[in-house]
Amino acid sequence: MNELKFPNKFLFGTAVASYQVEGGIYNNDWTIWENKSNSVCVEPCNEACKHYELLDQDIELLKELGIKAFRFSIEWSRVEPTEGIYDTDAINHYVEKAKKLIANDITPIITFHHFTTPEWLYKKDSWLNPNADNYFDSYVQKLMQNLPNEIEFFNTINEPGIFAFFGYFSTNKFPPGIANETKFIQASENIMSAHKKALKTIKKYNQNAKVGMTHALQEWEDDDNNKLKEYLKYHLEDKFLDASIDDDFIGLQTYTIVRYPKNIFLKIFNSLLLNIGFIRKFILPRIIQIFAGRNGAITSETRTTKMGYEYRPEAVLYNLRRLNNIFPDKEIFITENGIATDNDDERIEFVTTVLKDVHRFQAEHNNVIGYLYWSLLDNFEWDLGYQMNFGLVEVNKETYERIPHKSASWFGNISSSNILSIN
């Protein structure tokens, strides 16, 4: 058996998002979205995994497993349930959460926005509101006045390209469900502005903070000059990467490759979509919705994950190289990566392949902060409900009992030792 040793400072951990695990959140845009009469969601979130009330149990579980880092998001709608009015108990919960992790030698990584927006801002046009960046900055400032200065790593906004694209260029994925190119671009600009303001605010209150956005990056077929592919790549990823120019690190979140059909007629049609005004305005959003899912070109021979997209652990190495070319002087933090599967051995296989690639890249460049597996718990996967099990730990939906898979102790051993053992 061979052992791949990672640097002692390399962080291995897991991640969760507030809405997906906490439960009892009923005052944000997702609550409204999933409970509409014509909802596209499989089911509502409701009590999720009760992570909010079972926090101490989950921290103890992290400690028992040997997991040394934990990324979690703060729920804006809990902290500021009414515009300008903050909930002290909610703030204290997240402050104590960070302190408890630190006390147990688990590195906390804070995310301020992970897809969900308070109901009061939703009613004011969400990220189309011209003051959305200031609202977000005020919320971040309030938290920074309370969070312990020992926290080093902060994510302002999670996967801005995903929630902007799914929410403002698609009617059937994320709230608010607007398929309009102009509004999508406007919302994107406001999101990027919010990130830049929050970055300055975080560093104002914590001079030792390392701050970045987390970016959902796909592997792309670079030899494919399909114009629609290039359009999607820019609006989903590249422009948000440009907004990270002043970040301390780049948060990388990648799961698969996107392949587009090699069809000359589709390429000609895609050119018409982008170059003829009437078609671009009225037809493009409807075509875009086809690609607002999570799948590339899938054939009967393609190995897929439970999410339906291509099994592609190699996508991580592709994007490490891509980011290193774009930002040669920045650190990279793999803040999410994982697999939804009913086969725990497949989870171990997937992560092993990823970590072998990461180890090789790290040996060459020495600029990767760490790797966070998504996710600690089986949780609410947005419009797909509870069908997708990414977790190292199963959650009994009736009793909320935590049932660790074999992969939980396997990954915990890697986290505690910084050693990947391979056959």
In tens, the pLDDT along 143-166 reads 999 999 999 999 999 999 999 999
Decide if pLDDT at 110 tops 90. yes
Write the pLDDT tens digit of every residue in 169-225. Answer: 988 899 999 999 999 999 999 999 999 999 999 999 999 999 999 999 999 998 877
Q: How confident is the model at residue 97 (pLDDT cuts 50, 70, 90)?
A: very high
* pLDDT at residue 33 is higher than 80: yes
**Structural domain total, the chain:** 1
pLDDT beyond 80 at 262: no
The pLDDT of residue 56 is above 70? yes
Residue 294 has pLDDT above 70, yes or no: no
Over residues 20-49, the mean pLDDT reads 96
State the pLDDT at residue 265: 63
Q: What is the DSSP letter of 401?
A: -
Contact 308, 384 (CB under 8 A): no
| H or E segment and range at residue 368 | strand 368-374
Calculate mean pLDDT across residues 386-399. 97
> H helices within 118-221, ranges in order?
119-122, 132-144, 160-168, 181-205
Please tell me what DSSP assigns to residue 110: E
Q: Evaluate if residue 74 carries a pLDDT over 90.
A: yes
CB 33 within 8 A of CB 75: no
Average pLDDT, the chain: 94
Instruction: Please check the confidence at residue 275 and state whether its pLDDT lies above 90.
Output: no
Residue 268 above 80 pLDDT? no
Tokens of 397: 């939906």
CA distances (Å), origin 237, targets 217, 273, 285: 6, 20, 18
Q: Is the pLDDT of residue 92 over 80?
A: yes
For residues 350-359, average pLDDT:
98
What pLDDT, on the 0 to 100 scale, is given for residue 260?
A: 77
HSE (side-chain half, CA atoms, 13 Å) at 233: 17
Q: Is the predicted pLDDT of residue 295 greater than 80, yes or no?
A: no
Q: CATH no. for residue 162?
A: 3.20.20.80
Q: Is the pLDDT of residue 19 over 60?
A: yes
259 to each of 295, 298, 332, how far by Cα in Å?
8, 8, 25
Cβ proximity of 79 and 86 under 8 Å: yes
Counting residues of the chain whose pLDDT is more than 70, the rounded percentage is 96
Q: How far apart are CA 160 and CA 136, in angstroms?
A: 14
**Could you tell me if 140 and 74 are in contact, meaning their C-beta atoms sit under 8 angstroms apart?**
no
pLDDT band at 266 (very low <50, low <70, confident <90, very high): low
Rounded Cα gap, residues 129 and 151, in angstroms: 31
Q: For residue 168, how far is the Cα from the chain centroid?
A: 18
For residue 147, the enclosing domain spans 2-422
- Which of 287, 164, 290, 168 has the alpha carbon at shortest distance from 215? 164
- How high is the pLDDT of residue 292? 57
Overall size of the chain counted in residues: 423
- pLDDT score of 293: 55
Would you place residue 88 in the very low, low, confident or very high pLDDT band (cuts 50, 70, 90)?
Answer: very high
Query: What are the residues facing 107 on neighbouring strands?
Result: 69
Using left for φ > 0, alpha for ψ between -120 and 50, and beta otherwise, residue 22 falls in: alpha
The Cα 165–Cα 153 span in angstroms is 26
Which pLDDT does position 152 carry in this prediction? 98
Three-state SS for 301-319 is CCCECCCCCECCCCHHHHH
For the segment 103-126, the average pLDDT, to the nearest whole number, is 98
pLDDT recorded at residue 219: 95
Token couple for 80: 């500021």
pTM (two decimals):
0.97
Beta-carbon neighbour count of residue 261 at 10 Å?
Answer: 11
Residue 103 pLDDT exceeds 70: yes
Which DSSP string corresponds to 92-103? Answer: HHHHHHHHHHHH
Confidence (pLDDT) at 263: 63
